[in-house]
Structure 1
Amino acid sequence: MTHQPPLTTPDVLIIGGGPAGLTAAAELAGRRAGRVLVVDREQDAGGIPRHSDHTGYGLRDLRRVMTGPDYARHLVRQATRAGAEIRIRTMVTGWADEDTVDVTSPDGRYRIRPRAIVLATGARERPRTARRIPGDRPHGVYTTGQLQNLVHLHHQPVGKRAVIVGGELVSWSAAVTLREAGCTPALMVSQYPKAESYAAFNAAGRTVLRVPVATRTRVTRVIGKGRCQAVEIEHLDTGRRRTVACDTVVFTGDWIPDHELARSAGITLDEGTLGPLTDTALRTSRPGVFAAGNLLHPVDTADVAALDGRHVAQQVVHHLNGEDRPAEGVRLTADDPFRWVAPQILRPNDPAPARGRLLLWTDEFVRFPKVTVRQDGRTLARRTLAWPAAPGRVFRVPAGLLDDVSPTGGPVRIGLH
C-alpha cells in the first residue's frame, strides 16, 4: 500500500513570500477569506528587498519610504498581524494533481490542497551563463541578488574594482552595494544609447557614486583564471574592443520570471513575458490559480508588485464566494518596439488592471511616445503620453485607452505610431 503524504487544506495558498505574496496575504486575511497560508523557500520572507539595503521602498503601496530590509519586515508583520500563516524554508516541488501541490520543508514532505492558489514566485536576473558570454570562469562574478545577499546578509567581502553589466535601476542598486562593501564601481556597461534607468538616477549615479557609463557597449569576454582580472568590452557601433581591469563583475537586470511551477502545471505562458498569461483579474489559464507581481511583468518595482498583490486579493475573494465566472476575452498583443504587454486578456465586466495601467516593455527609447490601439484594422485610440518609453523599465499606459475595444472582435494591438 502506497503511503500518502500528510495533507493540509487552507482556503488560499500563496506561493512566494515577496511583496506581491505578502500583500495579497495581508489583504485576504484582513478580508476574512478563511485560512491563508504563505510558503517561501528562503530562510526569511520578504523577497528581494530583504537584502537590498538602501532606501526607496514603499512609496506607492505604503505612502512612505523605507529601506529594503525594513520594508520586507513591515510586509511580514502586516501579513501575520492580519492572520496569515507564513512558512519559510518551504519549497513547492510540484503538482500532485490540478488542485494539490507537493511541498518539502524542515517538517518533512506533505501536500497542500487549497481552494485557490496565488503564484507570486517573482523573477530573477539572468546570470552570465544564460547570457552566453565567453571567457574564463573565475571567482568574483555575480548577479545583483547574489552580490547583495553576500554583502548584506552574510557580511562577506567582495573585490576592490568592479564592472557593472546593465544600466537599469537595479544596476545602480548594485553600485550602492559595491560602494558599501569597499569596492569601486569602475564602469557601467549598457547596450542602449543611454543608461536604461530614470534620468534622475543616472545623473545621481554619475555625480554621487561617480560611476562612468559606457553606452552602446557589451561585454564580450570575462578574463581571469582563479579570480577575475578583467573584462573585454566592445562598442556596438564601431566594433572597437578594449580591456577593462576589474576583480568583480556584476550582471544586473535582464530579468526572467520564476515560472517553473506555472510551466509544470501546464498553465499557458505568454511568449513575451515568459510568465503566466493572465487577464486583468490576474486569473491564469487554470481555474482557481491566480498570479501576481514580477512573475507577470519582470521586472517592476517592489511597491508595484505589492499593489498587484492587493489587486489579486479581491479577485480571489470572488472566486472563493463562487462569483468568479469569466466571460470570453480579447487578446492584447504588443507591436514593435514593445516586447510584451501585461496583462494580456481583456474580458467584459472584469476590473481594470492594477492601478488602472497596462504594463509594457520597450526595446527603443521614445521621449514622447504616441500610443496607438488597433483592433480589426481600425484605430480605436491614440494618445501621446508625457513620460518616455525607455528600455530597462516598465512603460505604463492608462487602461482607458482600451475603452472602445469590442469584446467580440479580434486581437488588440498596442504599439507606437
Structure 2
Amino acid sequence: MTQPPLITPDVLVIGGGPAGLTAATELARLGAGHVLVVDREETAGGIPRHSDHTGYGLRDLRRVMSGPAYARHLVRQATRAGAEIRTRTMVTGWAGDRTVDITGPEGRRQIRARCVVLATGARERPRAARRIPGDRPQGVYTTGLLQNLVHLHHRPVGERAVIVGAEPVSWSAAVTLRAAGCTPALMISRYPKAESHAALTAAGRALLRVPVATRTRITRVLGKGRCQAVEIEHLDTGRRRTVACDTVVFTGDWVPDHELARTAGITLDPGTLGPLTDTALRTSRPGVFAAGNLLHPVDTADVAALDGRHVARHVMAHLNGGGQPAGGVRLLADAPFRWVAPQILRPGDPAPPRGRLLLWTEEFVRFPVVTVRQDGRILTRRTLARPAAPGRVFRVPFGLLRGVSATAGPVHIGLD
C-alpha cells in the first residue's frame, strides 16, 4: 500500500474547541513553530458554535459574549497568532507515538509532530447509553444535537418538551427550545435539588416558566413514529405518571471523547474516563498532553480554554528539551466525589490551571468540609464557602495539598 503524504508540524492539536484553539494561540505566540489544529467539524469552535446564548468568555477573555461569537473569536485569535486550522479532518488512528492517520478533503494523510495536544472534549450520553426503555420514536435529542439542528441547520423541533436533567446545560436546552418555538413543559432531576446554581434555577423557572421535578427519573419513552409522551417515576414514593410531549432532551451526564487516548494506550482515569494527567497536563505517553473537558467532563468553556493556555507553557518546555518526569503521588477522590482532576502530583511541577483541583460530587453538601488524607493521616481540613453540588464542578484550592509528602502513599480528597 502506498504510504500517505506526511505532514510534520511542531505541535499537533487534536480538537478545535475552546481548549484546543486557546492552546494553539498560546503556542503560536510563544514561538512553538508550526502549530496545526485538526477538527472533524465543518467549522472550528466546538460546542459554543451552536450554543446561541450569552455567558461565554468571562474567565478567559474578561468579557461576556454569545457562544457563536466566542467560537469565532477563538478561531480568529488562533489564526492571527499563526496557527493553521484544518476542519473536516478526522483523526482515524495512531501510526506511532506522536504520529496519526487523518482523512480530510485532501484524502488520507499522516501527521508526525514533536508534541500532541489532545483536546477532543466531552459529549452527553444519549438515550441508548442511559438504557431508557420504551419505544424508539423521533423527537429524542441530546442538548448538543438539539442546538446543532436549531442554530446551525435551522430545523424545527416539536411543540412540547421534557428535559431530562437540571444542570446548567439543561437550561441552555430550555433556551434553545424556546427559540425554536417549543415549550419546555417539565425538567426532571434525580437529585433532591436541581443540579444548577440556585440563582440560575430560580431565573429559569421565572423567565422560562419551566417547572422542575426533583427526585424523579424517566422510565419509558412512548410513541410510534413521533414521541407522544414519557413515563416518569418519583424515586422516593415509586409513583409513576405520564407526561405528554413530542420532544425529549437528554442533558448532562457527560463522558469524555476519549477514543483517541484509549487507542493510543494512554492510561485513563477510572473516575473521569479521560487521560490520567499531572498538574502540567502530561499524559502517560511522552510528548502527548491533554486539556479541556476531555479531562474534566464537564466544566465551562472558559475553564477549558484556560486549560489550553496552561498546557501551552508545558508543551513549550517539552519542545525545549524537558523530559517526561517519573513517579509522583496519586490523587484519589473519596465518596461522595466521583473524580478529581488532575490526578498526579509531582515535586517541582506547577499548580494546576487556575490553582484549583476540580472534583465532581454525587451529593449536595451546603457547607463542605474538605479533608486531605495521606497514609491515614489528615493533612488538611477546611470548610469552603461554596456548596458541593451534583451536575457542576467543585473547585478546591491547590494550597490544600501543601503538606503532601512526595515519598508517601496516595492522597485521598473527601468531605468530612
Bucket of the pairwise TM-score, normalised by the shorter protein: over 0.9
| 1:2-151 correspondence runs (5 A) | 2-151=1-150
Amino acid at match of 2:5: P
In the alignment, is the contact (CA less than 8 A) between 2:256 and 2:294 conserved in 1? Answer: yes
| 1:354-365 correspondence runs (5 A) | 354-365=353-364
Aligned to 2:191: 192
CA distance in 1, matches of 2:62, 2:293: 20
Aligned length: 416
Amino acid at match of 1:338: F
Amino acid at match of 1:20: A
CA distance in 2, matches of 1:183, 1:108: 41
Shift of 1:325: 4.3
In the alignment, is the contact (CA less than 8 A) between 1:327 and 1:348 conserved in 2? Answer: no
Amino acid at match of 1:174: A
Aligned to 2:318: 319
Aligned to 1:173: 172
Aligned to 2:200: 201
Aligned to 1:236: 235
CA distance in 2, matches of 1:36, 1:108: 20
- SS of 1:256's partner is strand
In the alignment, is the contact (CA less than 8 A) between 1:189 and 1:213 conserved in 2? Answer: yes
Amino acid at match of 1:236: L
| 1:265-304 correspondence runs (5 A) | 265-304=264-303
Off by >6 Å, runs of 4+ in structure 1: none
- SS of 1:172's partner is helix
Residue by residue over 1:304-328, the C-alpha shift from the partner in whole angstroms, topping out at 9 and shown as x without a partner, is 0000000000000000000234242
The TM-score normalised by the length of structure 2 is 1.00
CA distance in 1, matches of 2:297, 2:323: 27
CA distance in 2, matches of 1:314, 1:188: 42
CA distance in 2, matches of 1:49, 1:5: 33
CA distance in 2, matches of 1:130, 1:335: 25
Residue by residue over 1:97-125, the C-alpha shift from the partner in whole angstroms, topping out at 9 and shown as x without a partner, is 22210000010001000000000000000
- For structure 1, which runs of at least 5 residues remain unmatched after alignment? none
Aligned to 2:182: 183
Aligned to 1:211: 210
Aligned to 1:226: 225
In the alignment, is the contact (CA less than 8 A) between 1:15 and 1:120 conserved in 2? Answer: yes
- SS of 1:371's partner is strand
In the alignment, is the contact (CA less than 8 A) between 2:174 and 2:184 conserved in 1? Answer: yes
Amino acid at match of 1:385: L
Percent pairwise identity: 83
Amino acid at match of 1:172: W
In the alignment, is the contact (CA less than 8 A) between 1:51 and 1:69 conserved in 2? Answer: yes
CA distance in 1, matches of 2:392, 2:40: 27
Shift of 1:371: 0.2
Shift of 1:173: 0.1
- SS of 1:101's partner is strand
Residue by residue over 1:173-196, the C-alpha shift from the partner in whole angstroms, topping out at 9 and shown as x without a partner, is 000000000000000010000110
CA distance in 1, matches of 2:325, 2:306: 22
Amino acid at match of 1:317: M
In the alignment, is the contact (CA less than 8 A) between 2:163 and 2:170 conserved in 1? Answer: yes
Aligned to 2:328: 329
In the alignment, is the contact (CA less than 8 A) between 2:372 and 2:413 conserved in 1? Answer: yes
Q: Does 1:249 align with 2:248?
A: yes
| 1:324-403 correspondence runs (5 A) | 324-403=323-402
CA distance in 1, matches of 2:288, 2:50: 29
In the alignment, is the contact (CA less than 8 A) between 1:22 and 1:309 conserved in 2? Answer: yes
In the alignment, is the contact (CA less than 8 A) between 2:184 and 2:210 conserved in 1? Answer: yes
CA distance in 2, matches of 1:291, 1:88: 20
- SS of 1:310's partner is helix
Amino acid at match of 1:49: P
Residue by residue over 1:73-113, the C-alpha shift from the partner in whole angstroms, topping out at 9 and shown as x without a partner, is 00000000000000000000000122210000010001000
- SS of 1:191's partner is coil
Residue by residue over 1:122-171, the C-alpha shift from the partner in whole angstroms, topping out at 9 and shown as x without a partner, is 00000000000000000000000000000000001010000000000000
Residue by residue over 1:261-303, the C-alpha shift from the partner in whole angstroms, topping out at 9 and shown as x without a partner, is 0000000000000000000000000000000000000000000
- SS of 2:166's partner is coil
CA distance in 2, matches of 1:110, 1:18: 22
Aligned to 2:261: 262
- For structure 2, which runs of at least 5 residues remain unmatched after alignment? none
Aligned to 1:155: 154
Residue by residue over 1:205-237, the C-alpha shift from the partner in whole angstroms, topping out at 9 and shown as x without a partner, is 000000000000000000001100000000000
Shift of 1:34: 0.7
CA distance in 2, matches of 1:327, 1:31: 26
What's the Cα RMSD here?
A: 0.5
Amino acid at match of 1:379: I
In the alignment, is the contact (CA less than 8 A) between 2:286 and 2:324 conserved in 1? Answer: no
Shift of 1:373: 0.1
- SS of 1:414's partner is strand
Aligned to 2:413: 414
In the alignment, is the contact (CA less than 8 A) between 1:297 and 1:342 conserved in 2? Answer: yes
